[in-house]
Structure 1
Amino acid sequence: MKVSVVIPTGRTRERVAATIQSCVAQELPESFEVIVIANPPSPELEQWLDGVGVAGAEVRYIPCEVRSANVARNHGLEAARGEIVYFLDDDCRLPTVHHLRDLVRLHDQAPEVLGIGGPYRSPDAAPRSTVFYNAYTEMWLRRNGTPAGEQLVLAGGNASYKRRLGGDDLIFDDALAYGGTETEFNHRLVVRGHSLRLDDA
């Protein structure tokens, strides 16, 4: 399997449905899976997901009793079967049906790079608060890049990692609560000698 899309969520089915459907609609030659980590568990979401999968895209539901972004992410890592694990926030949408294909291409072109991520893009109808947050996040990402093109951090809701390069280093700190938890994870990867990149897509 090529890609595992991991979506930790505490949202209702109605609020996360568009995110999941944007993943299932992807046109990728290789097989991929969408792993929804329900944090907390949601029987309604589980039942709805039973009918969402399509040929080439398996959708899996995993309950997570502990209210923690990092615990949910680790549940996703443990369950993932793809060569690339892609973390996606539950309020994001994949912008085109070729997004995963383009992500795989980026990883194939940079076999030595562990993590590749991008900024958050705001839809035309997004509220001003969302536009501001996404613009601030992009500024923060670009200020944490190096002249050589390396990246010190990635946005947790739009970041992907090669499992074969990460190995045992691909684990989030369960002791950290919400807020900047993925920053510690990415800093730790860089300190251990791994390479991260920022892509504009």
Structure 2
Amino acid sequence: HASLAAPSGSDVAAVTPGSEEQLFLTCMLLHAADISNPAKKRSCYLQWTDRVLAEFYAVGDRERSLCLDLSMFCDRTQPRVAKCQTGFINYIVKPMFELWGQFIPPLEDLFMQNVQSNLAVWAAEVSDLPIDQCYADSAKLDWSFTQGAWRLREGMPENSFSAQLLPQELDGTSENDVVEE
């Protein structure tokens, strides 16, 4: 991630097709797309958070079966969802999108509002996520990564999810942002 830090004073409009700068910006754009989940609306972001966590846990399960040390945030028995997401947003996502905001100023307003709003989900005073909960959505008990399907808690109807506004959305600060429960 650090290798994609742009030199100060870069000007996107001055980039020549086929140049090293164009290759650099293309790499930056692809990297930004890869890490863009926190820059999306909350409902989409939280769904992708759980999918990424499911992938991490599948890696951890495989590492455990091979008697290897588990990679960070890959141990489903010790989930640290809030810590994982806070670090990811603060140290990876925010710097990348702030950089794009310098290149293309309208992007900063477009994406950074979602980044900040999604980061607030994990703040201690906002998040009541139990430390042992594996996913952002508490209804999702497990993820069958290879089958691509959620296994819900026993007795929970398949269509029990509903969109609800979060408290900060009721005052109009994020009127279009919903989280599924």
TM surpasses 0.5: no
Could you say which structure has the higher strand fraction?
A: 1
Q: For the pair shown, which has the larger CA radius of gyration, 1 or 2?
A: 2
TM-score under structure 2 normalisation?
Answer: 0.29
